[in-house]
């Protein structure tokens, strides 16, 4: 006969409760630890995976790398381009076929070549000018920080965009070239790609809306490992732009606006769906050719422009003219327009960089908020009475 020693029931209950509480505490610690870890991991992700205004590219954040697909590298493109951006401390998963991408880039890129002045403001805003090692036609760059680097030979002259100095580029061995092209027929880019230098096509110039162009800063954010900053900068620009647009909508009048000028015997003006026409619409202006189709330029006769625009209140962007004297010397018929007579002609051609490059062509795509403020100040001065225009100036 075996004898069992029975423990005090109270002691047994107390011991059991301690074990249960210990187990619950352990479970809670694991739960909150996992939740905190998940939160930290989530916080490391970019602020936004979405491209909200641009139509020409998309961003896809995978688990360990990012894919950018450029669908509109140039007008009527028949091919899209897909680029994989992999952090330098990460290896592309073996399950991923790298040949499916047009280029695989290690980020952040530290040695870069870009080919359009519209790329410069994004690099500057993201503290990425130090990565820029070469540029074609550096004389067109207006950015002062970039010009200082050019003067120190830290940004090298590479010829022109249609015919890059391939020998110098091959010698530089940049990690990537951000290309600007009007079609796929660019033998220089093909040569550089065969030499192992990735060419990334940037189609910011094909976008039809001001905020669509500005959103391409996110493209450079991925390239430079500055996604959060790019996202924040764009959101600020978009918010400011929409505030000014809403302010313009409150104006009591909607002034009629003429644009363009003669080149030889043809009057070129922005088409109704163009970038420039969108600015005028958002500034609450009655643009003469707002209802026309097309995203480029209209080709009109002088007679047509006079017939429709002779009595318009304002004339915005009269080609490259900077003075009334030059306009009349070019064509005496300009003096027949009301806006000419009342001195209400405004141009961005007077705002140039230290080497003569037009700041508008470089910076306006990245800062549409400044362009819209200029136009609202000109067309509705009562809404922004103390504002100093950034790009547009009255003709002399």
pLDDT tens, residue by residue, 238-252: 999 999 999 999 999
Q: Given this model, what pLDDT does residue 49 score? A: 57
CB-based burial label for 119 (10 Å; 0-12, 13-18, 19+): buried
List pLDDT tens digits, range 121-164.
Answer: 999 999 999 999 999 999 999 999 999 999 999 999 999 877 88
Q: Sheet with 345-347: list strands edge to edge.
A: 286-287, 256-259, 314-316, 345-347, 393-394
pLDDT digits (tens, 9 = 90+) for 80-121: 999 999 999 988 888 889 999 999 999 999 999 999 999 999
Quick check: 210 and 241 in contact, CB under 8 A?
yes
Torsion angles phi and psi, residue 144, rounded to 5: -65, -45
Give me the residues paired with residue 299 across strands: 268
Mean pLDDT, all residues of the chain: 88
Buried b (16+ CB within 10 A) or exposed e, 266-303: ebbbbbbbbbbbbbbebbbbbbbbbebeebebbebebe
- pLDDT score of 1 more than 70: no
At residue 393, does pLDDT exceed 80?
yes
Q: pLDDT tens digits for 304-357?
A: 999 999 999 999 999 999 999 999 999 999 999 999 999 999 999 989 999 999
CA separation for the pair 30, 249 (Å, rounded): 55
- Residue whose C-alpha is closest to residue 374's, from 342, 338, 350: 350
Q: What is the pLDDT of residue 22?
A: 53
Whether the per-residue pLDDT at 286 is higher than 70: the answer is yes
pTM, rounded to two decimals: 0.85
What domains appear along the chain, each with residue ranges and CATH number? 57-239 (3.40.50.1980), 250-394 (3.40.50.1980)
Residues 368 and 244: their CA atoms lie apart, in Å, by 11
Q: Is 11 a residue whose pLDDT tops 50?
A: no
DSSP conformation class of 6: P
pLDDT at residue 18, as a whole number = 53
Q: What secondary structure does DSSP assign to 271-282, as a single string?
A: -TTSHHHHHHHH
pLDDT value for 95 = 86
> DSSP letter at 160?
E
């Amino acid at each position: 006969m075996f004898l069992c020693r029975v423990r005090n029931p109270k002691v047994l209950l107390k011991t059991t409760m301690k074990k249960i509480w210990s187990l619950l505490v352990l479970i809670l610690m694991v739960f909150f630890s996992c939740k905190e870890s998940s939160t930290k991991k989530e916080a490391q992700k970019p602020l936004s995976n979405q491209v909200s205004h641009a139509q020409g590219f998309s961003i896809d954040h995978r688990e360990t790398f990012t894919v950018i697909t450029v669908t509109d590298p140039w007008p009527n493109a028949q091919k899209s381009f897909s680029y994989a951006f992999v952090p330098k401390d990460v290896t592309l998963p073996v399950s991923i076929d790298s040949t499916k991408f047009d280029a695989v880039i290690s980020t952040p890129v530290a040695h870069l070549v870009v080919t359009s002045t519209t790329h410069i403001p994004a690099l500057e805003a993201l503290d990425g000018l130090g990565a820029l090692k070469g540029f074609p036609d550096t004389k067109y760059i207006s950015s002062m920080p970039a010009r200082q680097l050019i003067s120190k030979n830290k940004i090298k002259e590479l010829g022109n965009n249609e015919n890059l100095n391939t020998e110098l580029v091959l010698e530089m061995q940049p990690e990537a070239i951000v290309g600007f092209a009007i079609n796929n027929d660019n033998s220089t880019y093909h040569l550089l790609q065969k030499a192992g230098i990735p060419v990334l096509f940037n189609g910011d110039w094909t976008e039809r809306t001001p905020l669509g162009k500005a959103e391409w800063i996110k493209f450079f954010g991925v390239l430079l490992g500055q996604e959060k900053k790019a996202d924040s900068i764009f959101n600020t620009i978009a918010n400011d732009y929409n505030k000014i647009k809403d302010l313009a909508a409150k104006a009591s009048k909607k002034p009629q606006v003429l644009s363009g000028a003669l080149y030889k015997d043809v009057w070129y003006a922005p088409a109704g769906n163009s970038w420039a026409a969108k600015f005028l619409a958002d500034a609450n202006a009655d643009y003469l050719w707002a209802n026309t189709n097309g995203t480029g330029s209209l080709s009109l006769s002088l007679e047509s422009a006079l017939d429709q625009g002779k009595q318009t209140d304002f004339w915005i962007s009269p080609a490259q003219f900077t003075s009334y004297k030059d306009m009349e010397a070019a064509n005496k018929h300009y003096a027949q327009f009301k806006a000419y007579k009342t001195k209400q002609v405004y141009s961005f051609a007077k705002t140039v960089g230290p080497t003569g490059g037009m700041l508008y062509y470089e910076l306006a795509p990245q800062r549409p908020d400044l362009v819209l403020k200029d136009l609202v100040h000109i067309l509705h001065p009562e809404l922004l009475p103390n504002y100093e225009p950034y790009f547009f100036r009255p003709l002399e």
